[in-house]
Amino acid sequence: MTSPLSSAQAARTALAARLRHLRLDAGLAGHQLSRACGWHPAKTSRIENTRAVPSDADIRAWCAACGADGQAEDLIAAVRHANSMYVEWKRLNRAGLASLQQEIVPLLERTREFRVYCSHVVPGLLQTRAYAAAIIAAYGTFHGTTDDVEAAAAARVRRSRVLHKRGRQFAFLIEESVLHSPIADPQTTADQLDHLVELAGLPQVSLGIVAAHAPRPLWSMESFTVYDDAQVGIELLSARVTITAPGEIATYERAFADLAAHAAYGAGARTLIRRAAAAHR
């Protein structure tokens, strides 16, 4: 698999190259641009070598020094886009856990085809409120943010209404180990698994279970969601990663297809889920 950080790094590298070309086109050496901007020459070097992210003010000063004020806003937008590709959870958590659940709603509303792979927990769109609260509480405890767990769980369940909207298709792949995870209490987990069986019966939902002992082409990896063919969202321990580069999207699409080809569906998936639910009771 391609590193999920590569899209963000590629965007930052492209931005640094644009800034360097502006300087060169203006006929300025690094120390000359630094003097015009009023900062140490080392800062120019760090920006051009992607070791520092320029602020909005830095971009405007750079463009002014190069006589390219008209490009400032476009470059500022490029910086913000690059920064949004890799966002640490501690930054996202500042607005609260409930707000974090709401942030993704516009993306869910505009997506028509969802491909979701989960290796550790039941996918958010398939979670019951009690299971969501357990997952969010564990997340919040680890990250030191536990003030609005119940509100966040309610918001997560509300956004799952997209499952019942017309014109959408959902393909879910879940590792069998998820069905046996003790992250929630046994009854909550059993109820969640019963809910999975119900949702698997929806005509717009495909649910595959990647059996623990079945032959498979790939190992368990980070959970990810492919939104149409436009974007991949990945949840790492420390950050949320957004991929938009077509080549990288294709990598995740291929991984999903390879795993899907080895998953159990229909009666086979229901048997694995019900067996796990019985073990929790």
More confident residue, 258 or 79: 258
pLDDT tens-digit series, residues 103-159? 889 999 999 999 999 999 999 999 999 999 999 999 888 888 867 899 999 999 999
Helix 129-143 and helix 149-159, axial crossing angle in degrees, nearest 10 = 130
How does residue 5 score in pLDDT terms, banded at 50, 70 and 90? low
Computed over every residue of the chain, the mean pLDDT equals 90
**CA 201/CA 212 separation, integer angstroms:** 23
Percent of the chain at pLDDT above 70?
94
Give the domains, in start order, of the chain with CATH numbers.
Answer: 6-84 (1.10.260.40), 88-280 (3.30.870.10)
